[in-house]
Amino acid sequence: MYSPEQENISTTASTKVPVKYGELIVLGYNGSLPNGDRGRRKSRFALCKRPKANGVKPSTVHIACSPQAAKAISNKDQHSISYTLSRAQTVVVEYTHDSNTDMFQIGRSTESPIDFVVTDTVAGSQSNADTQSVQSTISRFACRIMCQRTPPYTARIYAAGFDSSKNIFLGEKAAKWKTSDGQMDGLTTNGVLVMHPRNGFTQDSKPGVWREISVCGNVFTLRETRSAQQRGKMVETESQELVDGSLIDLCGATLLWRTAEGLSRTPTLKHLEALRQEINAARPQCPVGFNTLAFPSMRRKDTPDEKQPWVYLQCGHVHGYHNWGNHREEREGREGRSRECPMCRAKGPYVPLWLGCEAGFYVDAAPPTHAFNPCGHVCSDKTAAFWSQIPLPHGTHTFHAACPFCAQQLTGEQGFVRLIFQGPLD
């Protein structure tokens, strides 16, 4: 039976540890940003129950405002969304406090209303220096997530975030319209796209369909190109509610939403470390040099060491680094990284293997047996199969599968290869 003492324990315990709604993990990073996580700029962000609710909900609608009147309303100390219809007419929707929800804002701006600062992901980049020269396509105030403060802690996503003056402005050029019930709605310049996987984030997950989310949280089919004026068709059967494994694309970075419950079933870093030690304990050998191979510790994620396993991506045979089959024309740089495997003579890229250290990207806790092509990041079979099927938005109108640990576009027939290790000969 449940005793009153137990009840007291559970409540005091729960006051110490805030309820976690879920986490957002940026695709393309292997456990942290290249130069380390700092403050609100990091590779994953936990959304936890706030000491005091800070959610907002729509209240008064002011129609046919002159620009001056619109300015006066938006200057009031409360949240509002302004829809500029023409130079002479603006509709302002005031928002009021909602004690049932917590609001979290995501975007490129480092201003205080942004809880999670996201910058453009550059595929395969090892340092933030590689990324700074890019003209960003991520909005400064990209989106907001509202979490219900009571179970089941539903999280809902909306395009656009409120700025330091607590306003969202949709200018003349932004796509906007009046809904059938007289409310206003609109889309942001490059849009916020969401995909909910089918069968959750599990071994049986299958890709869903990418949709666009509006400023008021409605769901639409995609526009013809990312920033086209014409909105897609409304999809009334689908929802802005995030589920475990939902992907959120901000046009320059893609985030994975993991619920607290989903994360509790995900392998821990400790588990991944145990799997790494298990592979190393089997003392895999290089079939050419006969030297023992070992995956480096998870902290060392950028420069290969002498025991590092390398793989021929065409066939999956694992070796140590050696110069066998390194043809003269390749040495002179005419053929790129194509090498011939000494085991089976298959020709293709020859790359170092790196363990995938971001546990949130794994769909199961199985051993790391497969590597993505062409980057060499290693994870479980089901995890590799899942990510190789997911079309991720790229640029303004293309999609391609990419490695979740470094964002490089996948190549080859499947996008990944099964690793073939040679055991010790003694």
Each residue of 339-355: pLDDT tens digit?
899 989 999 999 999 99
Q: How far is CA 226 from the centre of its chain?
A: 18
Amino acid symbol at 277:
Q
Weakest mean pLDDT among 220-229, 329-338, 408-417: 329-338
Say what the pLDDT of residue 297 is.
82
Say what the pLDDT of residue 66 is.
76
**How many percent of the chain have pLDDT more than 90?**
65
Burial of 45 (0-12, 13-18, 19+ CB in 10 A): buried
Weakest mean pLDDT among 53-62, 109-118, 241-250, 321-330: 321-330
For residue 319, pLDDT over 90 is answered with yes
**How many percent of the chain have pLDDT more than 70?**
89
Say what the pLDDT of residue 381 is.
97
For residue 426, pLDDT over 90 is answered with no
Mean pLDDT of 386-403: 92
| Mean pLDDT of all residues belonging to the chain | 87
Phi, psi of 229 (to 5 degrees): -70, -35
Mean pLDDT of 140-158: 97
For residue 177, pLDDT over 60 is answered with yes
pLDDT band for position 383 (50/70/90)? very high
Say what the pLDDT of residue 336 is.
42
Taking CA atoms, 392 is separated from 272, 399, 402, in Å, by: 26, 5, 7
Say what the pLDDT of residue 159 is.
98
Say what the pLDDT of residue 378 is.
96
For residue 7, pLDDT over 70 is answered with no
Say what the pLDDT of residue 77 is.
82
> Could you report the per-residue pLDDT of 43-94, keeping only the tens digit for each?
999 999 999 999 999 998 888 677 777 777 777 788 999 998 888 888 999 9
Say what the pLDDT of residue 11 is.
38
Say what the pLDDT of residue 12 is.
37
Cβ atoms of 187 and 178 within 8 Å: the answer is no
Weakest mean pLDDT among 99-108, 136-145, 167-176, 227-236: 167-176
Say what the pLDDT of residue 171 is.
82
Say what the pLDDT of residue 397 is.
77
CB atoms within 10 A of CB 360: 19
Helix or strand run (H / E) with residue 209? none
Q: What is the DSSP letter of 410?
A: P
Taking CA atoms, 198 is separated from 195, 249, 348, in Å, by: 9, 17, 34
- The pTM of the full predicted model, rounded to 2 decimals, is 0.90
Query: What span, in angstroms and rounded, lies between the C-alpha atoms of 376 and 313?
Result: 8
Closest CA to 217 of 85, 100, 81: 81
Say what the pLDDT of residue 330 is.
46
Angle at 367 between CA 365 and CA 368, to 5 degrees: 110
Angle at 336 between CA 334 and CA 341, to 5 degrees: 115
Which residue matches tokens 């400790």? Answer: 270
Query: What span, in angstroms and rounded, lies between the C-alpha atoms of 354 and 323?
Result: 20
Mean pLDDT of 225-242: 94
Mean pLDDT of 220-230: 93
Q: Give 408 or 66, the one with higher predicted confidence.
A: 408
Weakest mean pLDDT among 97-106, 244-253, 286-295: 286-295
> Could you report the per-residue pLDDT of 356-371, keeping only the tens digit for each?
999 999 999 999 999 9
Say what the pLDDT of residue 126 is.
54
Going from the N-terminus, what domains does the chain have, and what CATH number goes with each?
A: 20-123+135-265 (no CATH), 269-418 (3.30.40)
